[in-house]
Copies of this chain bind each other. A is one copy, B any other.
Amino acid sequence: MTEFTNVTITKAANVYFDGKVTSRKITFTDGSFKTLGIMMPGDYKFGTAEKELMEITGGDCEILLPGSSEWQTIQGGESFYVPANSEFEIKAKTIVDYCCNYISE
C-alpha cells in the first residue's frame, strides 16, 4: 500500500527527541490510527502502550526488542512487532521513514 485514502491527518507534527524523531497522525474512518514518521540518524528508546507493527518504509536501522539481547538489522521494506506496554531500542543508521500501526488486543 503506497497511500492511505479517506483519512484525517492532524496538521501539527508530534516532535520527540528535540525533533530528531517526528511523526504525523492519520486517523481512519473506523477511528483507528497510524503515525507516519521520520527518524534522523541516532539512538532512541520508545515505550509502547498498545502492540505496534512498525513498518520501515525507507532507511536502515537496528532494533533491540524487549526480552532480547540481540540487535536485529531492519531495512526499508521490512517490519517488526513490538508488544504492548513494553520498550524497544532503535539505532537509525540513516534517515528512517516509518509507518507505525497501533494494534488493539
Contacts and interface: CB of A to CB of B under 8 A. Distances in A.
Q: What is the oligomeric copy number?
A: 2
Contacts of A99: 11
Interface residues of A, number: 28
> Which label, helix, strand, loop or mixed, suits the secondary structure of the A interface?
strand
A96 to B, nearest CB: 9
B6 A8 contact: yes
Nearest to A5: B8
A18 B95 contact: yes
Nearest to A25: B3
Interface of A: 1-13, 15, 18-19, 22, 24, 26, 36, 38, 40, 57-58, 94-95, 97, 99
